[in-house]
Structure 1
């Protein structure tokens, strides 16, 4: 199983997609179950943190922010350039090409009168490309041994006290309260709080392996539910164009990740997966699989997520109307 990319995530995702295609039936999802699974995965990532994690990533924050902003800028520029040859508004193209932050992109799309369906489809195309290509390439070309320096422990933790289970319950309730105020709250809050306890030397109780497998399967099912093949087919030829943009984005992220590893001295797998335009959870799980450092990957991906959901919408809200005016002239 070591050479299969994210088997517990991609397996259910593919199975559900095949079922949807073959039966033509609608599917439903339990958001409570999804949220619990996200919390479990957030806890899993938080448990990879050590007393040195925060001091370890400190030197990487500034260069990583620059590389992330470069990747985001290139994605937006490519999306704008492509509108010179196809009949799509620049705002729709650019909002659909942001490497992450679907919810923020859709909210901005609604407020600006962009084509929300196409924005969703373009994000779906990027998501599918990233989920299948990056884990596969990482597993076969960037594999660096089983487990990095802070690999996720899925077995019983002898030093973690049972009372820390109450902290897990508390972080779920906290994430529920702040789910509309904190981006990806059900992952970020458990990861940050659990990671902080670990970093301060308070060992957390290690949950059974089966729970982490269950959470990954639930994530795969949820992603399979969210992907609308009907919308993808409806968008037709544009899907191929934006698939091409996704490939360019992925290759660019590999190049930037390689340069980032040279600049910082990070493992190549850790560096590339930190820059990669994938989801925080998926890239951290891939890092665990290929022997990278999931705590560094998740910490740095969190920085880019904050840039995408806070800084990018403010920038686009101000400048996109001007860009659309230029396109219409």
Structure 2
């Protein structure tokens, strides 16, 4: 009964978040309402088995976005992509360490809080690896808001200063000829579950998510039938938000209030990282300044690509690099964090 109530609360919260157009609203709305329900009643329950299901579904959603054209376009963007992912990982580890040394956060939580992956992906992986997922999602939300609402303002000034604000290519969401047929959806889910469960059994960090992502990605590249509808993704986000919400305590809420000064460090750190890496790419490639800066922006693939299209960037290149960043971070970041935590401890 308590589990059913938690699910209802999560769905209501997610719907409210979507209605209010909050970034990652399905997840944030669910998390907030389940957290409130848990703080007042102490009866929010979400079985941990749903963590694996949520990770598998999230991996399948990312994998379904990997298409053959992304692979064919790798040659032109491979060098800048490797440079961006490597520099971003290094600078984020530094930012995470600064957060760790200046707060009460443990090292794993601090590193996941500054990880440049998807907010839900990083939070779920952090939850699996026993980091404080409630704090991770707060800092990830701050990153998302700053990337979408703050960073483009500064990037626009740099682009204008360089005098390269002309539009190179207009970004359009690829019009796939795939049909959101029930058959394709079921096939995608089956591939994700089978491969994701193998990943879970392998004991690889975040194996359920990364294996599902790779399996569905390969399935989509060769058969072009990978489909994960947005409503299903939103439902999974609500489950993910509920998982985190059940872990939120009054102690967490009070501690976050004391960490507000670190919000400035995080936002400034991401802005500094974005500009430095973007300028390095600009100097070492044939990308224009807008393409370089937005390729290095630590935001969502679609959000960054759409904003980039308005500021003179070659948005297909931006989209491919952003996708490569997301796949790389989800696949390798958890392993690197475990290694670093063991070394420093």
TM-score normalised to structure 2 length: 0.63
Q: How does 1:30-41 map to 2 (within 5 A)?
A: 30-31=50-51, 34-35=54-55, 37-41=57-61
Segment drifting more, 123-132 vs 14-23? 14-23
Distance apart, 1:188 and its partner CA? 3.2
Residue aligned with 1:95, SS: helix
> Is 1:316 paired with 2:316?
no
CA distance in 2, matches of 1:94, 1:222: 23
CA distance in 2, matches of 1:195, 1:260: 30
**Contact persistence 1:194–1:204 (CA under 8 A):** no
**Contact persistence 2:219–2:225 (CA under 8 A):** no
Distance apart, 1:178 and its partner CA? 0.8
Aligned residue pairs total: 289
Instruction: Kindly provide the CA deviation profile for residues 207-229 of structure 1, in whole angstroms up to 9, marking residues without a partner as x.
Output: 37xx2233134315523541526
Structure 1 133/76 Cα, relative in aligned 2: closer, same or farther at 3 Å?
closer
CA distance in 1, matches of 2:215, 2:288: 25
**Contact persistence 1:80–1:94 (CA under 8 A):** yes
Distance apart, 1:47 and its partner CA? 3.3
**Contact persistence 1:96–1:120 (CA under 8 A):** yes
Residue aligned with 1:45, SS: coil
Instruction: Kindly provide the CA deviation profile for residues 14-36 of structure 1, in whole angstroms up to 9, marking residues without a partner as x.
Output: 43355346653554454466246
CA distance in 2, matches of 1:315, 1:58: 26
Partner of 2:303: 286
Unaligned runs of 5+ in 1: 111-115, 322-329
Q: 2:137 aligns with which of 95, 119, 124?
A: 124
CA distance in 2, matches of 1:168, 1:130: 30
Distance apart, 1:164 and its partner CA? 10
Structure 1 33/194 Cα, relative in aligned 2: closer, same or farther at 3 Å?
closer
> Is 1:299 paired with 2:324?
yes
Instruction: Kindly provide the CA deviation profile for residues 66-119 of structure 1, in whole angstroms up to 9, marking residues without a partner as x.
Output: 412431242144235526xxxx4xxx45433212356776788x7xxxxx6xx5
Distance apart, 1:129 and its partner CA? 0.9
Structure 1 274/177 Cα, relative in aligned 2: closer, same or farther at 3 Å?
farther
Partner of 2:231: 213
Q: 2:33 aligns with which of 19, 25, 49?
A: 19
CA distance in 1, matches of 2:257, 2:193: 42
TM-score normalised to structure 1 length: 0.66
CA distance in 2, matches of 1:37, 1:246: 29
Structure 1 225/163 Cα, relative in aligned 2: closer, same or farther at 3 Å?
closer
Q: 2:210 aligns with which of 160, 164, 188?
A: 188
Residue aligned with 1:124, SS: helix
Unaligned runs of 5+ in 2: 1-17, 116-121, 157-166, 310-314
Q: 2:63 aligns with which of 43, 53, 68?
A: 43
> Is 1:148 paired with 2:166?
no
Q: Which has the higher contact order (CA 8 A, sep 6+)?
A: 1
